[in-house]
Amino acid sequence: MSNAIATHIQLASRPTGWPTQDNFRSEQITYPEPQAGQVRVRNEFISVDPYMRGRMSESRSYVAPYQIGETIAGGAIGRVIESAAEEIPVGSVVLHQHGWSDIVQGEAADFRVVPEIPGLPLSVRLHIMGMTGMTAYVGLTAVAQMKQGDTVFISGAAGAVGTAAGQIAKLLGASRVIGSAGSDEKVALLTEKYGYDAAFNYKDAPVREQLAAAAPEGIDVYFDNVGGDHLEAALDALNTGGRAALCGAISGYNSTERAVGPDNMVNMITRGLELKGFTLGSYLHLAPEFTEKMTGWFSQGQIAYDETIVEGIDHTVDAFLDMMNGANTGKMLVKVS
């Protein structure tokens, strides 16, 4: 065993509005040889996710803000290259939350060994078979209480959660699934690849108008990844007894203005609507149920996915910024070469 030099991407300053390269810095870290109980992991894929923007600010949230000078924590998958922990031998594939780095070393308890399944790329553990897929599943089932025959609207539908949610909704018996996305290419993909019954480009015309046209009978469930005008449009379209799972609000993440709330909250009273915000942390007890369902669907070829892959740890910030700008289709990942 030996020392190792790792590259970590750290928060250099807190972004105001849209983050820039200047808010981050690359640091070389020298690890001594692993102490008893530690492992050293070379990452293969790193996840960049919308929720990370929230942690870059100092405000109260469900997880602590990143500290200046701290490596950006988040999901990653890699392979153990040195081990001083019996339970995790060299060669093991591990998921962890150590985030934006090429090599990371720490206590074995921080790393979760996942089985290598032939034909299953490691990367899907960071999205459709991992937290992203489970977020979509939990949002539709436990949060929004989707029922067979429901009409479902999903915003940010071409993103990692959205592409999963559309397919899961159909597999669970939704009668009609409608999605919104930010380019014509993405819109085409939604109906051609992801089983959406209808989709629109939110940049073409007001969401309210486009959603009303796509759902003339209204919607029963809304899966919100966007917030803002999308949530407002959904509050107009939701039928009596309708339910919304609020998963993300990317439209406002980089705004420095006062967010404009929906002008039609009163619909919630007259139609008995329910809005429920959630983060996956409150639903981890559903992991076995999700894994069983998703493994079944996946093995039967019923799940499509896309990855937008940026190569090289040095391009992690590019990947994050591109993802915030909507440059990805499906899951945005960094492949650590």
Which CB atom, from 271 or from 315, has the smaller least distance to its own copies? Answer: 271
Distance CA 211, CA 205 (A): 10
* Burial per residue of 64-91, b for 16 or more beta-carbon CB atoms within 10 angstroms, e otherwise: ebbeeeebbbbbbbbebbbbbbeebeee
Q: Does 1 bind its own copies (CB under 8 A)?
A: no
Residue 264 touching its own copies (CB under 8 A):
yes
Phi, psi of 22 (to 5 degrees): -65, -20
Q: Is the Cα dihedral 261, 136, 152, 167 positive or negative?
A: positive
DSSP conformation letters of 144-164: T---TT-EEEESSTTBHHHHH
Quote the CA–CA distance of 298 and 243 in Å, as a whole number: 28
**Which residue's CB is nearer to its own copies, number 121 or number 261?**
261
Q: Which two tokens stand for residue 101?
A: 């780095």
CB of 252 to its own copies, least distance (A): 6
Please give the single-letter amino acid code of residue 3.
Answer: N
The residue type of 14 is R
Give least dist CB 286 to its own copies, A.
Answer: 14
**Residue among 89, 149, 206, 272 that touches its own copies (CB under 8 A):** 272
Q: Does 268 help bind its own copies (rule: CB under 8 A)?
A: yes
Cβ proximity to its own copies, 112 vs 276, nearer residue = 276
CB of 179 to its own copies, least distance (A): 20
Q: Does 279 bind its own copies (CB under 8 A)?
A: yes
Give whichever of 187 and 273 is closer to its own copies, judged by the CB atom: 273
Contact set for its own copies, span 23-62 (CB under 8 A): 54, 60-62
Which of 108, 158, 231, 317 forms a contact with its own copies (CB under 8 A)?
231
Residues 155 and 224: beta-carbon distance below 8 Å: yes
Nearer to its own copies, 171 or 273 (CB): 273
Q: Which is nearer to its own copies, 25 or 53 (CB)?
A: 53
Which residues lie near its own copies (CB under 8 A)?
A: 54, 60-62, 227, 231-232, 240-241, 246-249, 252, 258-279, 282
